[in-house]
Structure 1
Amino acid sequence: MSKAVITLETLSCPSCLKKIESAVKGLIGIDQNSVRGVFNVSKIRIDFDEKTLAIEDIEKVIKDLGYPVIKSKVKAA
């Protein structure tokens, strides 16, 4: 499992963050218990299997919801 921190543009409401968390949790390869959004800094932390899912795939799901991704940082566990 790899760990990622995805920084988003400033979110306007907590429900936006919940929508992003739900979409990310639906991806195959995500550790659903690891998905943690931090509203006040517009970041989401996740653990995922890089053999199953690429960080670009996770970013695409977020972007497809209409939320720009500023940057992603991935660390191998």
Structure 2
Amino acid sequence: MDKHLRTKQAKTNPIVASSSSEEVSSLEWEAVNMNQEEEDLIYRMHKLVGNRWELIAGRIPGRTAEEVKRFWVMKKK
């Protein structure tokens, strides 16, 4: 029974719950520098496919979906 109680406490622990959240404050993100060609491609691709970051990143060698998304979010501010 004690083992069950510890498992339940771990699931309701607010620290664990907040670490799995997808929302991240902009202070935790570093700006991603893109060259003009990459920026143009991101804008054009976003217009065509929306927020499909994996698809957009696949067109830019050496860039991950996370970098492209971070660039987009930081640029839109």
Could you tell me the TM-score, scaled by structure 2's length? 0.29
- Higher RCO structure, 1 or 2 (CA under 8 Å, sep 6+): 1
Structure number with higher helix proportion: 2
Could you tell me the TM-score, scaled by structure 1's length? 0.29
Which is higher, the Rg of structure 1 or of structure 2?
2
Structure number with higher strand proportion: 1
